[in-house]
Structure 1
Amino acid sequence: MIQDGVPERSLIVTIGEAGTGKTTFGLQFLHEAIENGERAVFITLEESRERVVQSATEKGWEFDRHTEEGNLAVIDIDPIEMANSLTSIRNELPRLVEEFGASRLVLDSVSLLEMMYDDQSTRRTEIYDFTKSLKQAGVTTMVTSEASEDNSFASRYGIIEYLTDAVVVLRYIRPEDFRETRLAVEIQKIRDANHSRETKPYEITHQGISVYRQANIF
């Protein structure tokens, strides 16, 4: 679906409801990088470091070994602590990435950052500054975002998709006859790259997200 790949140093957002595989997609994104000899960083605001490593290991991705060998950094940050130190983290991120030598980074999830701010204007400014620091870090970055309750194609606060270079939507398809709920992936945009406009069904497997390339959802 991403015909020529995502351009390096792009900022990608994966939007989806709970259970659509956003975190799995992020882990898979880093696994591919490490398999290609790159270094990667996973920042989680939702799970403990141990739980992230365990979840990846259960899928056959040796995140425990990769962290020991120095190819992967898994960082868990308490959202409350992050609210108190967001500015310092934002300022330090480019330096930390450069020192570690990472080429890919995942932040799971940006929705928890957005929830820290009650005022929409402040939220927009803070998230803009944070995404700017991610771009300055010089890595290809994926952030995950909860979907809006009213619109599965939009993020919870409707901000992040306008600040990123690529938008991937993972969503449920619920047919009218209620026979089977399916998962579908759609690429809304990728700057400077060709991509499919089709909606494709996918499954969450032990190997990560598996898209049925030959099938379409109408």
Structure 2
Amino acid sequence: MSKENDEWFEGASDDDPDEEDLFEDDFASGFGGGPGSEGFEEDFESEIPRIDLGIEGLDEMIQGGVPERSLLVAMGAAGTGKTTFGLQYLQRGLETDQKAIYITLEEDREDVVQAATEKGWAFDEYIENDELAVVDLDPIEMANSLTSIRGDLPRLIDAFDADRLVLDSVSLLEMMYDDPAERRTEIFDFTRALKKAGVTTMLTSEAAEGNAYASRHGIIEYLTDGVFILQYVRSEFRETRLAIEIQKIRNANHSRETKPYEITNGGISVYQQANIF
């Protein structure tokens, strides 16, 4: 592997009585449970190793957990908490003695660590103990050297012995390609390399304008094993709320309900027993 590619991994470190109430001020107590909110049957057998995401309420919506080595994406508009989602996913792994890699194309390495610290997650300590690698990459440079990075990635993940990986955000990488055919090919090959690497990966992606269920370029949702939709839900009579939906998870039973969530000082909390509609 070239010295240049070695370097990218270094440090790797609203009150109308005729209108149904859509929202209550207090998420935790104001929403009633709805169909399917009682959970899954207790008996569950699977030979596939599974993991928790570490998102309170969301894990309870996935029977048995997410299959290991899955390629996942958290998709939403700006401000829906995609980066927090990814950080919290890594934190869960780190606190259960897994090793993790965080690749950011949007922020400096120090900003990522600071954001985690503000949530109470000691990323700096994990880095010092060689349990976490945080890498900041320029999206243009990554696109220019994607072929070599794609080839080296499985070996680098193996060398670090990583169990979880986050890439924030795949949308910036997609934007580097003007030709749609080239974009599809490069992103397909890159995601295939991630799946072959034997790591459970969480990507973040911007949603298409006006469609929360599609990514900006309409590619990544078809290449991933699991898709989490993070979106704003607006009511004429109440303030805008955040809601999450599991669009798909291969080889896993999961709730298909849309549930409210909040982003707090301690991360994302999904109110599994609450209803929006």
Q: How does 1:168-183 map to 2 (within 5 A)?
A: 168-177=228-237, 179-183=238-242
Task: Return the match for 2:167 from 107, 110, 117.
Answer: 107
1:4 partner SS: coil
CA distance in 2, matches of 1:197, 1:76: 35
In the alignment, structure 1 segments of 5+ residues that lack a partner are none
Which residue type is aligned with residue 249 of structure 2?
I
State the match for 1:207 in structure 2.
266
TM-score, length basis structure 2: 0.77
CA distance in 2, matches of 1:14, 1:181: 20
CA distance in 2, matches of 1:213, 1:13: 20
Which residue type is aligned with residue 182 of structure 1?
R
Q: How does 1:103-142 map to 2 (within 5 A)?
A: 103-142=163-202
CA distance in 2, matches of 1:133, 1:216: 39
CA distance in 2, matches of 1:6, 1:61: 22
Task: Provide the alpha-carbon RMSD of the alignment.
Answer: 0.7
Pairwise CA distance, 1:83: 2.0
CA distance in 2, matches of 1:155, 1:210: 23
Pairwise CA distance, 1:79: 1.0
Q: How does 1:92-103 map to 2 (within 5 A)?
A: 92-103=152-163
User: Cα deviations across residues 112-134 of structure 1 (Å, max 9, x unaligned)?
Assistant: 11001111111111100000010
Point out the structure with max Rg over C-alpha: 2
User: Cα deviations across residues 157-194 of structure 1 (Å, max 9, x unaligned)?
Assistant: 010000000000000001123x2000000000000000
1:154 partner SS: strand
State the match for 2:28 in structure 1.
none
CA distance in 1, matches of 2:76, 2:82: 7
1:209 partner SS: strand
User: Cα deviations across residues 65-106 of structure 1 (Å, max 9, x unaligned)?
Assistant: 000000000000011211221111111110110000000000
State the match for 1:152 in structure 2.
212
Pairwise CA distance, 1:214: 1.1
CA distance in 1, matches of 2:206, 2:99: 26
TM-score, length basis structure 1: 0.98
CA distance in 1, matches of 2:269, 2:139: 31
State the match for 1:74 in structure 2.
134
Greater Cα offset, 76-85 or 44-53 = 76-85
Greater Cα offset, 30-39 or 85-94 = 85-94
CA distance in 2, matches of 1:3, 1:56: 28
Percent of aligned pairs with the same amino acid: 72
State the match for 2:143 in structure 1.
83
Pairwise CA distance, 1:213: 1.4
1:33 partner SS: helix
CA distance in 1, matches of 2:276, 2:187: 33
Q: How does 1:21-100 map to 2 (within 5 A)?
A: 21-100=81-160
CA distance in 1, matches of 2:149, 2:121: 28
CA distance in 2, matches of 1:23, 1:170: 11
CA distance in 1, matches of 2:131, 2:139: 25
Pairwise CA distance, 1:217: 1.6
